[in-house]
Amino acid sequence: MAASCASTLPPLSFVSSSSSPRRFRRSGVVAMASVGQKVYAPGVAVSEGNGGLPKIDLKSPHGSEAEIYLFGACVTSFKVPNGKDLLFVRPDAVFNGQKPISGGIPHCFPQFGPGPMQQIQKSQKEIQL
């Protein structure tokens, strides 16, 4: 199986300031993973998920965690440092590589499914100047 995924996870860190009590600074963290090749970064693990589908587990140094299935690039879990999962996946979700995963956040860019790019239909009442 040859699939890859790249993601950027910028954590926030609190910086106190006399002029503003709420100022945040971003520090960039880049996460890279590749199935079929052994390319990993700290906090990134590629493993077999439900139904044998490959998934990427991301862990930030601040305690947040995410789970992303390569099938449909579906984010099925995002946990904050206290362990609470902010996403929902149906208990009867099918992980068979045929149907979309029910729940989480599916990333369907640039379109759902394979094939030629779909064109946006122009309105039949298009105004011509």
What gap in Å lies between CA 8 and CA 31, rounded to an integer?
Answer: 6
Reply yes or no on whether the pLDDT at 61 is more than 80: yes
Q: Which class for 112: exposed (0-12), middle (13-18), buried (19 or more C-beta within 10 A)?
A: exposed
Residue 100 pLDDT: 85
Q: Is residue 7 part of a domain?
A: no
Q: Is residue 97 part of a domain?
A: yes
- State percent of the chain over pLDDT 90: 36
Residue 120 pLDDT: 63
Q: Is residue 1 part of a domain?
A: no
Is-contact 54 3, C-beta < 8 A?
Answer: yes
What gap in Å lies between CA 55 and CA 76, rounded to an integer?
Answer: 10
What gap in Å lies between CA 125 and CA 37, rounded to an integer?
Answer: 52
Which domain range does residue 54 map to? Answer: 37-111
Q: Is residue 121 part of a domain?
A: no
Q: Please tell me the total count of domains within the chain.
A: 1
Q: What is the mean pLDDT of the chain?
A: 73
Beta-carbon neighbour count of residue 6 at 10 Å? Answer: 11
